[in-house]
Structure 1
Amino acid sequence: MTREVRAFAVTVLTLAALGVAAGLLWSGLTPRAPYEVTANGTVLADPSTQALIAADGWFAVITGGLGLLCGGVAWFVGRRFMLAVLLGLCAGGVLAAMLTLWAGSTFTIGAVVVEAAAVPGAKVVPGALKLTASGVLVSWPLLAVGFFGLLEGMHGYRESPLRQPYGELPRF
């Protein structure tokens, strides 16, 4: 029982550490939407900017790719404690996605500002990263658990005695 708990905890903590690193990567790669400083505060300088959508896309690509990687590595490494590792992938994936969002929106690394069609002489500043499509938060746990299940299903089918129809002898 303690080994299963340890496998679960190691999986969750590993994904959490990867989540912080993914947030810093997301912060470094994603272009920032331009905001114009006015007397009433900051407003979006260019309402037709694609930077807000790009932030969602980069988040999905980074967390989805890491989800696939984590699902594959977890299947190969965690063969002895499948259920604990699978539950760790699910819980750790959710935690990692939340930490990616937190780290990416808190720390500004390599802020690339998109050109704005603002009034000449107006002060334009880069905005903070945020997600406009909150559904991309599930890309890490969904792809990690899905790829883990796909690998296990393929392995289970290959090893299944049900593959030999009607009691035939196994072919070598």
Structure 2
Amino acid sequence: MTREVRAFAVTVLILATLGVAAGLSWSAISPRAPYQLTERGPVLADLTTQALIAADGWFAVITGALGLLCGGLAWFAGRRWMLAVLLGLCAGGVAGSFLTLWAGSTFTIGAVVVEAAAEPGVRIVPGALKLTAQGVLVAWPLLAVGLFGLLEGMHGYRESPLRQPYGIEP
């Protein structure tokens, strides 16, 4: 029982650590939306900007790729404790996604260039990095658990006696 708990905890901790690194890379890659400063506070300067959608897309690409990588590595490395590792992938993927969101929106890495057409004298500033499509938060755990299940299903079918019809031996 303690080995299963250890496998679960190690899986969650590894994915959480990867979440912080993924957040920093998301912050470095994603564009920032332009905002103009007004008396009421910052207002989106360019209503046709694609920067908000691009930030969501980069989040999905980074966390989705990490989900596939973690799911494949977990299946190969965690052969003894399948259920604990699978549950760790699910919980760690959720934690990793939220830590990616937190780290990416908290720290600004890389050059932030904002371009927008504004009136003279209006100050344009880069906006904070945030998600507008909250559904991309499930990309990491969904792809990790999905690939893990697919690999386990293919492996189970390969060794299954049902593969040989009518009990014929090869």
Instruction: Report the TM range for the smaller structure's normalisation.
Output: over 0.9
Compute the displacement of 1:115 (Å): 1.3
Cα distance in 2 between the residues matched to 1:58 and 1:104: 11
Q: Which residue type is aligned with residue 63 of structure 1?
A: T
- Partner in structure 2 of residue 102 of structure 1: 102
Unmatched 5+ stretches in structure 2: none
Instruction: Give the TM-score taking structure 1 as reference length.
Output: 0.97
After TM superposition, give the deviation of residue 109 of structure 1 in Å: 0.5
Partner Cα separation in structure 2 for residue 111 and residue 43 of structure 1: 22
Deviates more, 1:110-119 or 1:125-134: 110-119
- The equivalent residue for 1:59 is 59
Distance 1:2 1:122 in 2: 61
1:64-89 per-position Cα deviation (integer Å, ceiling 9, x unaligned) = 00000000000000000000000000
Q: Which amino acid aligns with 1:7?
A: A
- 1:111 to partner: Cα distance: 4.1
Contact between 1:30 and 1:111, CA under 8 Å: does it hold in 2?
Answer: no
SS in 2 for 1:112: coil
TM-score (norm 2): 0.98
Aligned-partner Cα distance in 2 for 1:156–1:110: 46
Q: Find the aligned partners of 1:90 and 1:137 in 2 and give their Cα distance.
A: 12
Moved over 6 A (4+): none
The aligned amino acid for 2:106 is: T
2:134 maps to which residue?
134
Alignment deviations for residues 24-66 of structure 1 (CA, whole Å, 9 cap, x no partner): 0000000000111122211111011000000100000000000
**Any residues of structure 2 matched to 1:24-39 within 5 Å, and which?**
24-39=24-39
User: Do the aligned partners of 2:114 and 2:125 also contact (CA within 8 Å) in 1?
Assistant: no
Q: Secondary structure at the match of 2:12?
A: helix
- 1:158 — aligned with what? 158
User: RMSD of the alignment, in Å?
Assistant: 0.8
Does residue 13 of structure 2 align to residue 3 of structure 1? no
- The answer on whether the counterparts of 1:111 and 1:126 sit within 8 Å (CA) in structure 2 is no
Distance 1:135 1:91 in 2: 16
CA distance in 1: counterparts of 2:76 and 2:2, whole angstroms: 21
Shift of residue 113, structure 1, vs aligned partner: 2.7
The gaps in structure 1 that reach 5 residues or longer are none
Q: How many residues align?
A: 170
Moved more, 119-128 or 5-14: 119-128
Matched residues in 2 for 1:9 and 1:162: separation?
Answer: 35
Q: Per-residue deviation at 1:130?
A: 0.5
The one-letter amino acid paired with 2:32 is R
The reply on whether 1:92 has 2:97 as its aligned counterpart is: no
